[in-house]
Chains A and B, each alone.
Chain A
Amino acid sequence: MLEFSQYCLIASSILVALAMVSYVVVLAMRRTVRQPALAHAGARGSGSTETPEGVRGVGATAKPTGLVWYGSRLTVLALLFLTAALVARTVATGHGPFSNQYEFAVSFAWGMLAAYIYFEWKYQVRMLALVVLPITEAILLYSETADAAASPLVPALQNNLLLTLHVVTAVVAYGAAAVACAAGVLYLIQPEGGRRGLPKPALLDEIGYRAVVVSFPMMTIMIILGAIWADIAWGTYWSWDPKETASLVTWLIYGAYLHARVVRGWRGRRSAWLLMLGFAAVLFTYFGNLFFGGMHAYA
């Protein structure tokens, strides 16, 4: 079963790489091929309706064709293989795949792919893949180097319900954070007013915000569940453990992002920077225990 899980993981890494290649090729070709205008929801009924300019691109129903279609399908396939890898591992180990760096790397990649596919479905903005897929691939490759041996849970982790909830919320929060970061990156790489081929800045801004709307509450629940668990297992809900502290920094950055959106002068580029900073903090929180000890030393 563990072997099957490994094969699925490798398959998934290859699929993500292929999807990445498709998108890169599309991007390279896009400079010469004009993008067709996005379809608009038409009026229905006998009355005539008008929707003004300024809302284009949102919920566009342009169907992907050619390599874009392949890229999109490959991503979904990669998610399926990754899901199979996680399920197989759960069956083999008897606990959720969250108990060490290897298992969480795979879960983290799963979260990013799932969040990306959700936002792709919702907004039809496949450009996000250009940022999300390389990060996912990097995490998947990292997982291949991490120790994949299945090991029993240390006593502190023997709380299946809290372990599952604490980490599942982290996976969703981090996955959505990756999409938000991608939106921030795309926002920042285009000049004022937007560039042909790239989504409109307003749309990217919204995708970033929507992703944080998923990520931030999940992160909050993750931290609260972690605190509840720490109170049960270690006798204190907060102990400034490096991982706890790093997760608080991350939470504060996204909190700052949400507040920045209501402060004039902090919208647009500056909040896009905060999205990137936030995801950097996510990565720091995840990789932090390679450098720091503390009570999260196992994962």
Chain B
Amino acid sequence: MSQKTHTDVDETVTGREQPGNLARDDLDSGIEISPRDLVDRIYRFLISKRTGLTLILAMGLLTLVGTLLEQAPDRVRDDPQAYASWLDSVRPKYGGWTNPLNMAGMFEVFSSVWFKSVTILLAVSILACTIHRTPQLWKRAMHPRIHVAEAFFSHAGLRAKVTLPLPPEQAIEQVRAALNGRRFRTITDPRGPGLNLYSDRFRYTPFGTVLAHLGFVVILGAVLISATTGFKNTQFPVTVGTRADVGYGTGLTVEARSFSDTYHADGRPKDYVSELVLYRGDRELASQEVRVNSPLRWEGVTFYQSYFGVSAVMQVKDSSGKNIFDAGVPLSFTSDDGQNAIGQFTMPDQNLMVYVVSAASGQVDPTIRAGQVRLEIFRMDSEQAIGAEVLSPGQPTTIGDLTYTFERERQFTGLIVSRDPGALWVWVGSSLMMLGLCLVLFFRHRRIWVRVRSTDEGSEVLLASTERRDSGFELWFRQFVADVGALAEKPGGHHEKVGAKDA
């Protein structure tokens, strides 16, 4: 990241002046921008680091707004009526700002056109930058600039001069051996003056930026995949002792054999466990105890423990005595006053919708005694109730043409069922990003240029590097310089190490 790049954009406008052509207006002069110019300008805009930085900050800002302002819940967004009433519920909080904020999409920031635009622009900018940068990185790694001017040795961020009582040829080979011994590769620069050497280490690690940025784009893509493919059902209650179809074309059925919720002495929850069995048709595919941190996975479909509650097990028979409904009805909803737990089921063939109402846990409803439920039956196409009756367990009651029996209350386990093909790509992108980040941040490309000249005492070794803001390397460099200074003390018998890695 620290390396200077050449992506700063020259913002010169390319539309040309048309001197002496007064008939033309501004629009005409605009036409003078050729498509190639335009593409060029867009490209330069995209690869600008400034653009990238602005987009990152813009994304941060929008995300912050999304944290600070209340966001409309998922289920409300698709229903204009529900959305309108949700908006009314936050109106007291935001007052006169409610409508402008709503128009700007700030109550659904993460699905707003702003957030999408910034995300897409950022992804495109990252891609453009990466594509633009890769050849430069390649060139720097494979064909580094090995020759430097004399001034470099007197101006570089890191530089040192060592005098050795050795002839230049011997001195440079000693330095080369010392660098090779520290796993630097060395390349001889045949151009003068003096004897010259280019040396570097970790030359491939700058490609980590490519990996990290690609990783980020992959994650953005994965989020798109998650949002558009697969499915997610956050409300999938299964009454204990019954089976429920998963749907979404999976052909899967889930049976809940048991559910238990246990608590610590202070009332805090300890564990929620469902014993689930997964079927396709009558074939048992899998069975598992599903807990909050151990979902059941099968062919990309995952079942999570999410919530739980009480079901009313109902049976409905028609006049001929045939069972037309026999299942647990989860009492998942609570009435506005908190007095009642409510469940609901439909019988489309009969055009009927049935509400099952019981006293909510800990509440006393004088009309529904403990252990009883009240049925409220409606036609699906009308608001008019066709009957309401309180049922005691096990007692068949006829309402309209049908006979209803409330068998008993049983627990249900609430599951989340999802298939998310995007998740895999999130992990791929994350791994790429981590790998790239570590390469870039922890293994920086180190470059050292060496020049050796003959002097009266022997030779003068000049060492220089462009690294400035890196104390770790600076300490290393100084130690290295000190070691090079000490070379003259050692017996000169290690010449055989020389030149092993000359490219």
Contact = CB atoms under 8 A, between A and B. Distances in A.
Contacts of B63: 245, 248-249, 252
Nearest to A227: B426
Of B2, B67, B291, B302, chain A has the most CB atoms within 10 Å of the CB of B67
A190 interface: no
A213 to B, nearest CB: 5
B371 interface: no
Taking residues whose C-beta sits less than 8 angstroms from the other chain, chain A's interface range is 35 or more
B2 to A, nearest CB: 7
A41 B483 CA distance: 13
A223 to B, nearest CB: 9
A69 interface: no
Q: Which of B2, B63, B266 has the most CB of A within 10 A?
A: B63
Contacts of B475: 58-59
B57 A252 contact: yes
A51 interface: yes
A249 B53 contact: no
A85 B433 CA distance: 36
Contact of B485 (A43, A233, A237, A256): A43
B304 interface: yes
Contact of A205 (B3, B295, B469, B486): B469
B474 A59 contact: yes
A155 B272 contact: yes
B478 A252 contact: no
A216 interface: yes
Contacts of A259: 1, 49, 52-53, 56
Given A240-B66, A249-B64, A50 B4 contact: no
Contacts of A32: none
A47 B162 CA distance: 6
Interface in A204-233: 205-206, 209-210, 213, 216-217, 220-221, 224, 227-228, 231-233
B49 A55 contact: no
Contact of B158 (A55, A213, A288): A55
A228 B407 CA distance: 42
B42 interface: no
Interface string A44-61: 111111111011001100
Interface in B430-483: 430, 433-434, 437-438, 441-442, 468-471, 474-475, 478-479, 481-482
Nearest to B479: A41
A68 to B, nearest CB: 20
17 contacts: A41-B478, A41-B482, A45-B487, A49-B482, A52-B160, A54-B157, A59-B475, A152-B270, A155-B271, A155-B291, A203-B471, A220-B434, A232-B295, A234-B416, A240-B66, A240-B71, A262-B5
Interface of B: 1-5, 8, 49-50, 52-53, 56-57, 59-60, 63-64, 66-67, 71, 110, 157-165, 223, 226, 232, 234, 264, 266, 268-272, 291-295, 302, 304-306, 416, 418, 420, 423, 426-427, 430, 433-434, 437-438, 441-442, 468-471, 474-475, 478-479, 481-482, 484-489
Interface of A: 41, 43-52, 54-55, 58-59, 122-123, 151-152, 154-156, 158-159, 202-203, 205-206, 209-210, 213, 216-217, 220-221, 224, 227-228, 231-238, 240, 242, 245-246, 248-249, 252-253, 255-256, 258-264, 266, 288, 292
Given A47-B484, A228-B427, A240-B66, 15 more contacts: A51-B481, A202-B469, A206-B471, A209-B469, A210-B471, A232-B295, A234-B304, A235-B295, A235-B418, A237-B426, A248-B60, A260-B53, A262-B1, A262-B2, A264-B8
